[in-house]
Structure 1
Amino acid sequence: MERTYVLPGDSIDPTLIPSHPTRPLKLGLGLKHIPPSDIIPTIAGELVTDRRKNSMHIEYNGGRYVPIIGDLVIGTVQKTAADYYYVGLSDYTSNAILPQLAFEGASKKTRPNLAAGALVYARVSLANRHMDPELECVSTATGKADGLGPLVGGMIYTISLGMARRLRMAKLVEKGKVAVIEDLSSAGLAFEMAVGCNGKLWVNSENIKTILAVGRAVKETDEKNLGVEAQRKLARKLIKEMA
């Protein structure tokens, strides 16, 4: 991957725009195509070019989460209506709607009973600037949960949108890799995580110290923008403290 910093409206060097003989160019977050051939940034951040995937996007930390269809998010149930749960995704935004039948195998008799404060891992199924977003906890193609649904136990952490995207990236040895997670796992810490594109991280383990260590590792890496070596140093420190 190639990376460079850009500001809104900057001209992008043509050498940074990937090309592929068969794959169309994919423009991700923060980029806009202006016909016939101009591509401009709409936000400030790091331009990431992936020539293998023939794609480009802007990596940034700030800003308010805006739901996009297909995003995986972690939400908190705010209230329950006859057929829906109203789920909060971020501060100062309207609640998303989660149909009570949008779960694997759900019927009027078997649908989950989620109280206010319950956490759910869901996919954005509808996102429209004129309507509240809608969520689902089941694949419409297979009818299976595919890892979505209520999150029981564990702890929730708020992280930057940029860190959420980093955690969801493929596990590649490159700049931006969240090495602290792999090092904690390699050291024998058993835990599970769910990452929401809305800047939420859920960590669960049978050991509360592990939950706290993983949450601290991600938060500190995020807030201090630690590089790979600094992350590994932090991992060693946390493991030593748990011994």
Structure 2
Amino acid sequence: MAATDRIIVLPGDTIDPAVIPTPRRNAIRLGPGLRHVQATNSIVPTVAGQLITDHGKGSMWVESSTGHYIPAISDLVIGQITRSQGDYYLVNLSPYTPNATLPHLSFEAATKKTRPQLNPGALVYARVTLANRHMDPELECVSQTTGKGDGLGPLTGGMVFDVSLGMARRLLLSKPREYGGVAVLELLADEGLAFETAVGRNGKVWVGSDKSEANTRMVIAVGRALRETDERGLDVEAQKKLVRRIMKELSR
């Protein structure tokens, strides 16, 4: 589905099979606002909003402006260490969810001697491994199949910016510009800005670079561009104008 396409659905609507992803290997991944009805083998919206599909990842969901973050298995999240307790770190994901647990050894090549020593306030990029209403969420910073971090782990330096849950989900699409209409990071990079990002499905984006004064200004500018795009609902053309304005400000 192109970024210009907008399919608005209501609870109980029939979804056109033509827009449903058809992954070759894995089953379709249904996100928030959708459920599978086995009796009719159909996918039905449970909330009102915009239907978003990511054919690259074989996933789809309904984008709604309401609601708080609810952890789900395989979600990538940015959390803040609150304290260490036994063999676990307790990690805050949002003001509306209980602290998640992150094992001390759930990091790439971690042993009791080499594991990261994380103090309260430290940031981690992690994956949710357990999520249900009866237990606190559990996290990992290493793949259980490969033993590699694959980009997960402590986030050092940089800054974290809060965005809407919808914006976070769009940024995590395989092609954010094509499927979600979010081009601002790509446009800033095209202007020669060098930065790193990590996107948490819990509505947080970490932006990092080196610690020079100029790059601190750049990190703040990137975060501001993300938030303005999100809060104002800017389309790609408006994002281009925003990036041009930010580049002028940075050149002063």
Q: Same fold (TM over 0.5)?
A: yes
Structure 2 residue corresponding to 1:221, chosen from 213, 229, 250 = 229
| C-alpha distance in structure 1 between counterparts of 2:235 and 2:242, whole Å | 11
Letter of the structure 1 residue corresponding to residue 189 of structure 2: S
Which residue of the partner structure matches residue 104 of structure 2?
100
1:33 is matched with which residue? 36
The structural deviation recorded for 1:188 is 0.8
Aligned to 2:163: 159
Gap change, CA 1:183 and 1:20, over 3 Å in 2: closer
Equivalence map 1:44-123=2 (5 Å):
44-49=48-53, 56-123=60-127
Which of 93, 111, 134 is matched with 1:130 structurally?
A: 134
The residue matched to 1:212 in structure 2 has which SS?
A: helix
Deviation of the 1:47 alpha carbon: 1.5
Which of 14, 23, 33 is residue 12 of structure 1 equivalent to?
A: 14
Structure 2 counterpart SS, 1:181: helix
Please say if residues 18 and 50 of structure 1, whose CA atoms lie closer than 8 Å, have aligned partners that are also in contact.
no
Deviation at 1:39, TM superposition (A): 2.9
What is the distance in 1 between the residues matched to 2:46 and 2:128? 23
Q: Could you tell me which residue of structure 2 aligns to residue 144 of structure 1?
A: 148
Q: Distance in 2 between matches of 1:159 and 1:19?
A: 27
- 2-side partners of 1:174 and 1:19: how far apart? 15
Q: How big is the shift at 1:126?
A: 1.2
TM superposition shift of 1:236: 0.2
CA contact under 8 A between 1:77 and 1:86: conserved in structure 2? yes
Shift of 1:110: 1.2
Q: Distance in 1 between matches of 2:204 and 2:96?
A: 15
Q: How far off its partner does 1:62 sit? A: 2.6
Q: How many residues align structurally?
A: 242
Please show how residues 152-231 of structure 1 align to structure 2 within 5 Å: 152-171=156-175, 173-174=177-178, 176-206=180-210, 207-231=215-239
Provide structure 1 residue ranges, at least 5 long, that are not aligned to the other structure: none
Residue 3 of structure 1 and its aligned partner are, at CA, apart by 3.7
Structure 2: which amino acid aligns with 1:181?
L
Shift of 1:241: 0.5
Other-structure match for 1:241 = 249
In 1, Cα distance between the equivalents of 2:137 and 2:163?
21
* Residues 101 and 107, structure 1, Cα contact 8 Å, conserved in 2: yes
Q: Is the 8 A contact 1:3 1:49 kept in 2?
A: no
1:232 is aligned to 240
Identity %: 57
Question: Which AA in structure 2 matches 1:70?
Answer: S
Output the CA distance in 2 between the equivalents of 1:139 and 1:21.
Answer: 23
Shift of 1:17: 5.5
Structure 2 residue ranges without an equivalent (≥5): none
How far did residue 176 of structure 1 move? 3.1
Query: What's the CA shift for 1:69?
Result: 1.0
* Structure 2 Cα separation of the partners of residues 50 and 130 of structure 1: 30
Deviation at 1:26, TM superposition (A): 1.9
The answer to whether the 8 Å contact 1:101/1:111 transfers is yes
Structure 1 residues 190-242: Cα deviation after superposition (integer angstroms, max 9, x where no partner): 10000001101000112101101100000000000000000000000000001
SS at match of 2:249: helix
SS at match of 1:5: strand
Contact 1:62-1:160 at 8 Å conserved across structures: no
TM-score normalised to structure 1 length? 0.91
1:183: Cα distance to partner?
Answer: 1.3
Scaled by the length of structure 2, the TM-score of the pair is 0.88
Aligned Cα RMSD in Å?
Answer: 2.2
